[in-house]
Amino acid sequence: MTAAAHGARHETPYGAFQLNCYPARPNERLVAWCSADTLLLEETHRRGILGSGILVVNDIYGALCVALEPHALWTDSALAVLALRHNERANRRTQTRIVWSTEVPPAAPELVVLRIPKQRPLFEYQLSRLARLLPEQTTVLAAGMDKHLSPHTAAILERYIGPAQRHRGQHKARLFSAIRDERSAPEYTGIATYHSEALSAELCGLANVFSREKLDMGTRFLLEQLHTLAPAETLIDLACGNGILGLVALRQGVASNIAFCDESAMAVRSASLNASRIFPQEASSASFHQGDGLLEYRNKTAQIILCNPPFHLQHTVDDFAGRHLLQQCSQHLQSRGRLYLVANRHLDYLPTLRRTFDRVEKLASNAQFNIVLAQKS
């Protein structure tokens, strides 16, 4: 999925389109499509189904929707939607209807065109929901890159949808199809829970939430430092996942107003569910924001931001996603406001932070992680 050029030309059976990744960066190393997208577009074109009868699922940068102009895109990702909107405008294409992963997709499409997600729980959740909506004989086309596919992909499709077929491969990608039949598909919610000692409560995470089954080690390390933080009125839990950092900060009196922010619809919903269940009285003072970090965040500035940033872009290990988030933080902090960041030791975010913060220092380290304080003057 690499390329030297930014905004490369994507040749498809539906025409050629200029596509960009989002977030954009100088000297972009990625292109906005892969061989799995190509397989899906070629097979959809061969079938001759118009875009108005198509539901697209998990389009990443808009390669599918820009070409197909489908009835709707069912997605979990705000970044994917922003990429799509940029590419629709650039190519003067019709704006696609967005249905978030936490909502029910439109009923009775003629064809489902699905990029197989990296997270198997999300894949199974989506198939389980589709099985309840699709009329018999509706086809689901699904494709992914070989290195990310489960050897059980065809069996998973058949379990939920109906008879499945493994089709040709091309450039390290694979196409599958399944036809909805009369079988009763198993119900799969994708919800996982674990017990949080810091909260004395169970935390839930929907199917696409980071570390939904257990507390990740980076977050654990940052939680151990929360008791040392000077109290504040407003705190932002950035890249919140299931909301554990913000919720523990509320429990420990670090802040009384918490804003939970993530690009994943399922993460924001999970944080909301956990907040309302664990803190029913205080939940009304919490806010929830889905978007590209804090770019479209319009609530009041905070005294503290807590962040355990992602270090992947889609399937690729890449600290650009984390740096992109951290560059947004300073303008959403008050004077003397503080960002507390936990990150793997091999990720050097210090130069990025020193461009927008006056004071940057390491507060703590262990064998795997650093905790960094960045403060405005």
Q: How far apart are CA 329 and CA 110, in angstroms?
A: 44
**DSSP labels for 223-267?**
HTTGGGSPP-SEEEEET-TTSHHHHHHHHTTS-SEEEEEESBHHH
Beta carbons within 10 angstroms of residue 351's beta carbon: 9
Cβ neighbours of 317 (radius 10 Å):
9
* Alpha carbons 12 and 99: distance in angstroms, whole number: 25
What was the pLDDT predicted at 313?
A: 60
> What's the one-letter identity of residue 29?
R
User: 69-72: long-range contacts (C-beta < 8 A, 24 or more apart)?
Assistant: 69/93, 69/94, 69/96, 70/96, 70/113, 71/97, 71/106, 71/109, 72/96, 72/97, 72/98, 72/99, 72/105, 72/106
Amino acid at 105: P
Kindly state the tokens that stand for 286. Answer: 């919490």
pLDDT of residue 5: 39
Cis ω before 23 (30° cut-off from 0): yes
Q: What integer pLDDT is reported at residue 180 of this predicted model?
A: 97
pLDDT in tens, the chain (377 residues): 443 334 689 999 999 999 999 988 777 778 899 999 999 999 999 999 999 999 999 999 999 999 999 999 999 999 999 999 999 999 999 999 999 999 999 878 999 999 999 999 999 999 999 999 999 999 999 999 999 899 999 999 999 999 999 998 889 999 999 999 999 999 999 999 999 999 999 999 999 999 999 999 999 999 999 999 999 999 999 999 999 999 999 999 999 999 999 999 999 999 999 999 999 988 788 999 999 999 999 998 999 999 999 875 655 656 788 888 898 999 999 999 999 999 999 888 999 999 999 999 999 999 999 999 999 98
